[in-house]
Amino acid sequence: MSSTPIAARHKGFNRAEIVDQNFIEFVQQWQGEVRPTPRDSEAVLPGSALDARGFRELLESQLISRHLDLMARVLRVQNKVFYTIGSSGHEGNAMVARLARHTDPAFLHYRSGGFMAERFRKLPGMDPVMDSALSFAASKDDPASGGRHKVWGSKPLWVLPQTSTIASHLPKALGTAIAIEQARRIGHPLPVPHDSIAICSFGDASSNHATAQTAFNAAAWTAYQKLPAPVLFVCEDNGIGISVKTPGGWVANNFRHRPDLDYFFADGLDLAEGYAQVQRAVEHCRQTRRPTFLHLKTTRIMGHAGTDFEIEWRSIEELVSVEASDPLLRSAAIALESGVYDKEALLALNEALRKRCFMAAEEADRRPRLERLDDVMAPLAPYTPDKVKAEAERTDYQDRRITVFGSEDKLPEKQPPRHLAIQINQALHEVMAKYPETLLFGEDVAQKGGVYTVTKGLHKTFKGSRVFNTLLDETVILGLAQGYANMGMLPLPEIQYLAYFHNACDQIRGEAASLQFFSNDQYRNPLVMRVAALGYQRGFGGHFHNDNSIAALRDIPGLVVGCPSRGDDAATMLRTMLALAKVDGRVCAYLEPIALYMTKDLYEAGDGQWQFTYPAPGEAMPLGEGRVYGEGADDLVVFTFGNGVPMALRSARTIEQELGWKVRVVDLRWLAPLNDAFIAAQAKTARRILVLDEGRKSAGVGEGIITAVVEAGLGGTPLERVVGADTYTPLAGAAFLVLPGDAEVVAAARKLAARH
């Protein structure tokens, strides 16, 4: 390896310039022995598995990646480029791209310029330079994200866009691998070949992240049971995470002997040496269908990003040493030693690619950027109401429906009124009959039928290939859901309690709900997440089983959140949510109020007034549509949802008797997006307004209701809010000290009456 004289002499030089010049000087000063030029099909060096043609193309991909990095550093200061986390030192990942197929779904580390440049070769007519330049420039013409972020992504190349992920993409990569195999078991046609593998790359620092560890554990847990999970985990080990060094040997010692996670090492700094090593890992994963860990040795050249001035925290001697390990210097040596290139030809190639990258960047800078909010948000939450309505009301599956329920006489709409849990169960049977690609899974949902028996009988009806238990890990559950969705299925994951969702929130916030946005609606991962939720459980609970943290869901852009309070609404809402997922690719959260699961009565014991007739096929609840009790009653309008609905109805009877008011109760049903127009229309005729929100005072749904009222110009209407306390929910009877109840609702009405 050549020395780097410029770096040694000039501590204060721009390190990108030094790295660039090092390559040029290395080639110019090279004096090694030249072998006869190999033919395309011959090994580039004796003993290498890499032929001359493959080497030339890999070298070109490496140089494209490098010059995109150099271009970004130069043009960022001119505001022509907006992203400088580079791939320099990681260009060996191009070998993974060459040895895999373009139909192997890929979830990539942000240092994947070499991988992408090489993968672009898989299909004719594609241009890695221009496409990448458009992304760097945040151009509206960027084919990956439409200018919303610098992402490595491509719809035709099956690279699902990732932002600056820190391991959060590993669970869905594993989920995609498992989905490839699951499709065969349920007879679902795959959008990729049946022997595809899922590729997932990440850094050595990210391998320590809890989300990464849960993916590795779940992969091994799956393989331990002899179930296929063809995921190729590619750990690109550059020995450092921003400025924190990875202890020497840590990755190898941590992963080399893990049971049921098959370990391979490859030298990503040396194409001639590393190619066969990468090939063994890829072929092993594809043939054995086992989770495979490829430990790819890399380095990091030019710092973490353009704003990382390593010279401020790293010695010049260390920087020089790192720059001397540049994989492009080794590739240059192979090119010259093998006779594939002479000095002049290699320097000419280098300069031609530099010019190509800068020209593409200048062209990208001239292209339009996103300038309207509507354009920015267009792919975030697509909604085609007419198509969703038609899909939700579609009834052409009646034969399957009759088979599932046993006979026409046993159809749920022909049964007596039932409570919430039974009707959710009936609705789940129905949608699984309607959509053969639907899978239901989570903790305890199969043979047991869930903690509250809501999924009882589904496993027996639809068998273990469609209804199954997972390991106890919400992150994996939601990662699996995204994987199934990526492969064209309709997942119904269950999170056992709302509090457990917080363990895995980023799988929805950072991954599932963002995919349409960052892929410009080219990729979708439709899913309906069922969550047993909210408070008021008696004889059981405490914080983890009485959780009202709906704010954590409502804050996620694009997520649909619905909360039925009665059985018939539960069925029609679920039909619409599945239609939203099927038609528009939406991610939905379906909150099931635990305390209302078995509730039969409303006013007095035995009255049966909280049981309802199951809605006939063809009935569905439009997104945003609420339910109004006491239409036309204007003395007091109560806005609420979930457990608040029967509470408000009971309180309304007392208020009407005591104050002589006519009370209207408005069940919002849909909590995100809130239907501001519906709220305003209901508030417009109200003489008084009461907002009943069983969540906490801070950041609850009630704040959104009041905002909608005020923004509609109705802020002068007398208003009271009844909410929970800003505290965690305690155990047993103490829970009802912090949750609002009937008495608090009546007391709030009295306060309103006292104002006049």
Residues forming the active site: 545
DSSP letters of 71-112?
HHHHHHTTTS-------TT-GGGHHHHHHS-TTS-EE--S--
Q: Using alpha carbons, list the distances in angstroms from residue 35 to 1, 338, 747.
A: 18, 5, 93
Is the sign of the CA dihedral 231, 207, 307, 59 positive or negative?
Answer: negative
3-state secondary structure 161-217: EECCCCCCCHHHHHHHHHHHHHHHHHCCCCCCCCCCCEEEEEECCHHHCHHHHHHHH
Short-list 137, 87, 135, CA closest to 114: 87
Residues 6+ apart with CB under 8 A from 676: 708, 711, 712
Kindly report whether the peptide bond that precedes residue 673 is cis, defined as omega within 30 degrees of 0: yes
Q: Which residue has the tokens 């009565």?
A: 601
Q: Which residue has the tokens 């458009």?
A: 134
Q: Using alpha carbons, list the distances in angstroms from residue 522 to 124, 393, 412, 515, 536.
A: 20, 26, 38, 9, 42
Q: Which residue has the tokens 């790293």?
A: 314
231-237: strand order across its sheet: 152-154, 159-162, 106-107, 198-203, 231-237, 292-297, 262-267
Q: Using alpha carbons, list the distances in angstroms from residue 60 to 23, 54, 129, 328, 425.
A: 14, 10, 11, 10, 57
The residue type of 207 is S
Is the sign of the CA dihedral 212, 214, 218, 221 positive or negative?
Answer: positive
Distance CA 401, CA 454 (A): 18
Q: Which helix (H) or strand (E) holds 723?
A: strand 719-724
Instruction: Confirm if 105 and 486 have CB atoms less than 8 A apart.
Output: yes
Q: Which helix (H) or strand (E) holds 336?
A: helix 327-338
**Partners of 562 in beta bridges:** 590, 670
Is the sign of the CA dihedral 375, 379, 380, 382 positive or negative?
Answer: positive
Residues 6+ apart with CB under 8 A from 271: 44, 50, 55, 58, 59, 92, 95, 327, 330, 331, 334
